[in-house]
Structure 1
Amino acid sequence: MPEVIFPGPEGRLEGRFAPPPRPRAPVAMILHPHPQAMGTMNNRIVQALYQTFARRGFATLRFNFRGVGKSQGTFDNGVGELSDAASALDWVQSFHPEAQQTWVAGVSFGAWIGMQLLMRRPEVRGFISIAPPANMYDFSFLAPCPASGIIVQGEADEVVTPSAVQKLVDKLRTQKHITIHHDTIPGANHFFEHEMPQLMGSVDKYLDFRLDPSCPIR
């Protein structure tokens, strides 16, 4: 997983990139938790998501938002971070334009950014949102949600209330032509401190389903 530096809206952005193993391989981008709560691309959930996509043959990128690690700039309350994510996706696509599909995965704050990116980029065909902060940020922009995906929540999340996430899921499920999976991990807090195997088991089961050629969701 080589270190990469690529241009962002406010200067250089630092990332780790697993190159595509074959032509037309799909792309996955992983977005980290809140920069002001010690969120970085080295977050253990971010790394686990990165590894599972890379193992499946995706061209996979995780990177630090502006002001984190070697990434230049300063925190911008989500506005600039969304621009960072768009620039990161542009960077991957600049030398891998033949990708069959694109996925975005995000953790907490990164899930909020990732779901905004869905609305900007029609090539995104699937998403994974871990503990999206539905009680802290406005998700009304998902009108309608343009892609199917999975939302995973900890049953004992002390930061993001499960009821707020359930309300978001219920809203998204009223939309036609998309399918929203929702898994709740028993006993898990916001950081899935002791439930990483269960969390990644949920993610891998969903990816097995979506990436199967016979899957009805496209």
Structure 2
Amino acid sequence: MPEVIFNGPAGRIEGRFQPAKKRNAPIALVLHPHPQFGGTMNNQVVYQLFYMFAKRGFAVLRFNFRGVGRSQGAFDHGSGELSDAAAALDWVQTVHPDARSCWIAGFSFGAWIGMQLLMRRPEVEGFISIAPQPNLYDFSFLAPCPSSGLIVHGDIDKVTPAKDVQTLVDKLKTQRGIVIEQKVIPGANHFFEDHVDVLLEECAGYLDKRLGVATSAA
């Protein structure tokens, strides 16, 4: 898992990249929670998602948004972070130009950034959105949502009440041509404390189903 530094719109960006063994393997980008509330690319959920994709042969990148760790710049309330994510995807595509597809996974703030990015990048064919926060961030840009994906949240999330996530899911499910799956983790809070294993099982199961894997490789 080599450490990488690449250029972003606010200066250098620090990341961790796992190359793929196959030239046409898919790409995955994993986005971390809110930078001002301790979110980094080393968040446990982000770290585990990174390895989930790596185990399945993806070329996968996780990175620190601007102003986090060794990434230059300062927090930009989402606009700059979206530019960082776009630059990160550009970098992976440069390193891995023969990729046949792309996935984005994001946790909390990272889910909001990830879903904005998939609106701008038609090559994104799947997403995993963990604990999105439609009560705090505007998701009206998903009109329509261009890709099928998974939305996962806990049923005792105090940061984002389940009913708010449900409203978002219900809105997306009315759109034709895509399939939005929803998983609610019983007893899980916003950070999935003591429930990370269950969260990862759900994510891995969904990814395997989309990839056509008969049995889970998790």
Partner in structure 2 of residue 41 of structure 1: 41
Where in structure 1 do 4 or more consecutive aligned residues deviate above 6 Å? none
The SS at the match of 2:54 is helix
State the shift of 1:20 in Å: 1.2
Name the amino acid aligned to 2:60: T
After superposition, what is the alpha-carbon deviation per residue over 1:159-214, rounded to whole angstroms, capped at 9, x for unaligned? 01110100000000000000000000000000100111110110011011100079
Return the alpha-carbon distance in structure 2 between the equivalents of residues 95 and 16 of structure 1.
13
Return the alpha-carbon distance in structure 1 between the equivalents of residues 2 and 97 of structure 2.
20
Q: Does 1:30 align with 2:30?
A: yes
TM-score, normalized by length of structure 2?
0.97
Name the amino acid aligned to 2:211: L
Return 5+ residue gaps in structure 2 as ranges: none
Return the alpha-carbon distance in structure 2 between the equivalents of residues 3 and 97 of structure 1.
20
State the shift of 1:95 in Å: 2.2
Q: Does 1:68 align with 2:63?
A: no
Q: Does 1:4 align with 2:4?
A: yes
TM-score, normalized by length of structure 1?
0.97
After superposition, what is the alpha-carbon deviation per residue over 1:12-66, rounded to whole angstroms, capped at 9, x for unaligned? 0000000111110000000000000000000000001000000000000000000
Partner in structure 1 of residue 196 of structure 2: 196
Return the alpha-carbon distance in structure 2 between the equivalents of residues 66 and 213 of structure 1.
36
Identity of aligned residues (%): 65
**Equivalenced residues, count:** 214
Counterparts of 1:45-194 in structure 2 under 5 Å?
Answer: 45-194=45-194
Name the amino acid aligned to 1:92: V
Return the alpha-carbon distance in structure 1 between the equivalents of residues 170 and 21 of structure 2.
38
Partner in structure 1 of residue 212 of structure 2: 212
Name the amino acid aligned to 1:145: C
Return 5+ residue gaps in structure 1 as ranges: none
Return the alpha-carbon distance in structure 2 between the equivalents of residues 178 and 16 of structure 1.
31
Return the alpha-carbon distance in structure 1 between the equivalents of residues 36 and 114 of structure 2.
18
Return the alpha-carbon distance in structure 1 between the equivalents of residues 18 and 78 of structure 2.
26
Return the alpha-carbon distance in structure 2 between the equivalents of residues 197 and 18 of structure 1.
22
Return the alpha-carbon distance in structure 1 between the equivalents of residues 3 and 97 of structure 2.
21
Segment drifting more, 91-100 vs 3-12 = 91-100
The SS at the match of 1:60 is strand
Return the alpha-carbon distance in structure 1 between the equivalents of residues 119 and 213 of structure 2.
25
The SS at the match of 1:4 is strand
RMSD: 0.9
